[in-house]
Amino acid sequence: MEGTDLWSRMRRMQEEMDRIFGDFFTEPRPALLLPSPDSKSKEGELALSRASADLYETDKEIVAKFDLPGAEKSDINVEIEDGSLRVKVEKTSERSEKKKGAYISERAYSGYFRCIPLPNYAKTENATAEYRNGVLVVKMPKDEKKTQKVKRLQVK
């Protein structure tokens, strides 16, 4: 009985290690070179890094902050549709140089993507976006008519 218990624990440990290292190698990473053809998402787009985000509420508005280091304003695409806030950044760069006896050509692709569901009381038509020092801040006022107070229920 003890031997079986030991082997089952070893098997569980191996499965956990496989899961951890499997996630490590499949998570999107910032692309330093052109991504391989197999790194495409379900929609056929190249895999993008997940942008770090903070979402919080004040008394009057909903605020979403995204860390987008190295992005330019012209690279940022912000969309609000179907109750979701989507932020996408795509950067491409190309460099070529001729030296005596050699020709150097490099291309790089990188970017970020994040989609965050919004509460139904967000007034998305009055949303604003501002980008400064690598941080994108999106603000949306709250619709007081749709805001609901929390109702606590007694569990029986």
- The closest alpha carbon to 87, from 59, 120, 111, 123, belongs to 111
First-to-last C-alpha distance (Å) of the chain: 42
Is position 104 within any domain?
Answer: yes
How far apart, in whole angstroms, are the C-alpha atoms of residue 62 and residue 40? 32
Q: Indicate the number of domains in the chain.
A: 1
Q: Against a cut of 0.85, is the pTM above it?
A: no
Is position 10 within any domain?
Answer: no
pLDDT of residue 34: 38
Which residues, listed in sequence order, are joined to residue 113 by a DSSP beta bridge? Answer: 50, 88
How far apart, in whole angstroms, are the C-alpha atoms of residue 66 and residue 113? 10
Q: Is the pLDDT of residue 20 over 60?
A: yes
92 phi, psi to nearest 5 deg: -125, 145
Q: Is the pLDDT of residue 135 over 90?
A: yes
Q: Do the Cβ atoms of 90 and 108 come closer than 8 Å?
A: no
Structure tokens at 102: 């050699």
How far apart, in whole angstroms, are the C-alpha atoms of residue 111 and residue 29? 10
Is position 121 within any domain?
Answer: yes
Highest mean pLDDT among 4-8, 43-47, 83-87: 83-87
The domain in which residue 60 lies consists of 49-141
Residue 89 maps to which CATH number?
2.60.40.790
Is position 8 within any domain?
Answer: no
Is position 28 within any domain?
Answer: no
Report the pLDDT averaged over residues 46-71.
Answer: 86
Is position 91 within any domain?
Answer: yes
Is position 43 within any domain?
Answer: no
pLDDT of residue 65: 95
pLDDT of residue 29: 47
Is position 17 within any domain?
Answer: no
pLDDT of residue 11: 81
At residue 82, the 3 state secondary structure works out as: coil
Q: Do the Cβ atoms of 68 and 85 come closer than 8 Å?
A: no
